[in-house]
Structure 1
């Protein structure tokens, strides 16, 4: 009996040690992700306030040069017009990259406003019809808002760029102490395990991030049958 009690005690100690290690792993993982998002925020601000403003000034100066040129300097005017167009395109690309890195609307107005911006910008970029339904949401922690925004962003990128979807439906609901994000598309579909096994910043990476907050990511798909993505995360992560 003493030996059995000792084994039970050792087993219980092992379980407690594993639980402590799991909590520490999640804490460290969330800390790493916070650092990554802070770096995204800093880079986005540098692009917008630094490079973006310099390009704006450069475009203004080129415009002044164009206005000052005599009307008969056709070649010079054509060269300046090309430079102005290139400067304008680069400025637009810089602003778009800044918003994709970390859209200011996410920090300023919250998750719902950021999702509406994301859906609108993705629809304009890929030409797909994207619908968004958002339930009334409780006050959300900033990290949860960022987490669900990144999952939605990756799902829409996957549907538009890789699945060639023409119709995408995004739904965010809050119930039973958690948040659930669903993204359904009519694209070419995929093998779920293969998509999740890629890791990195794709759907597999999103699954690992959700796990850090006690969440789960599920995919239902088959080649040619579109993709149904469901992400659920508790309002109070462990």
Structure 2
């Protein structure tokens, strides 16, 4: 007995619908698997980028620490070592018995001068290692002393503005101090600036550091491409506090630096 044509059409329709639904489901599953794999690949790439970024920050931090150690070692060798050698020479001259009183007094005076200079050098190096008054009197006091030192050794005016007494964790205080120190050192060595302005503002959950000078400026893209040590140290110190730093400069137009440091974590 031949089935009616309507029944055959229904079977074909049902079979075709089931096949189409199966293909649709397979397509959706395939798309989801492909999309999930793509997300996994992107997440893996992101983790690799984060790891590389963290490694870069760590390496640059180690470089900054090593640079400071080299600077301290150089200061000890060039200043304290040379002063001790001079004192040894003067002591040897004082040992001669055939010197008259005038010569002995002159050597004694020179000896005292060398000792005083050595004491000043040791104090300066000690202050570089552990800024005077930073822990006892706070960041503002330490920065004021840093600015005064810069004006003492160079023909430059440094204006420091702080909204109010800033209270930060000890480690954050030290890193911010080092960041400002790096900015001032770069200005004195390379910028040929006559006026420097520093502003420090503590807003709710962040610290803002604004720096500006009227120095000769530089080509930022070129300096960054050459991995300028000063820029690298400034950037690294901000990143050590999970902060960001931006530079605005052109040849002949001075330098402006903005550093923003979050204060939501205790560092």
Q: TM-score, normalised to structure 2's length?
A: 0.67
Contact 2:140 2:166 in 1 (8 A): no
Partner of 1:6: 33
Q: Structure 2: 5+ residue runs without aligned partners? A: 1-27
Distance 1:27 1:137 in 2: 35
| Deviation (angstroms), 1:175 | 2.1
Q: Is 1:107 matched with 2:135?
A: yes
Q: TM-score, normalised to structure 1's length?
A: 0.74
Larger Rg: 2
Question: Cα RMSD between the aligned structures?
Answer: 3.9
- Equivalences for residues 1-238 of structure 1 within 5 A: 1-17=28-44, 22=50, 26=54, 29=57, 33=61, 72-136=100-164, 139-175=167-203, 177-199=205-227, 201-236=229-264
Cα distance, 1:97–1:226 mapped onto 2, change above 3 Å: same
Cα distance, 1:136–1:18 mapped onto 2, change above 3 Å: farther
Q: Structure 1: 5+ residue runs without aligned partners? A: none
| Deviation (angstroms), 1:90 | 1.6
Distance 2:188 2:139 in 1: 21
Distance 2:258 2:158 in 1: 17
Aligned length: 225
| Deviation (angstroms), 1:29 | 4.8
| Deviation (angstroms), 1:176 | 5.6
Distance 1:111 1:20 in 2: 36
Distance 1:118 1:181 in 2: 15
Cα distance, 1:137–1:235 mapped onto 2, change above 3 Å: farther
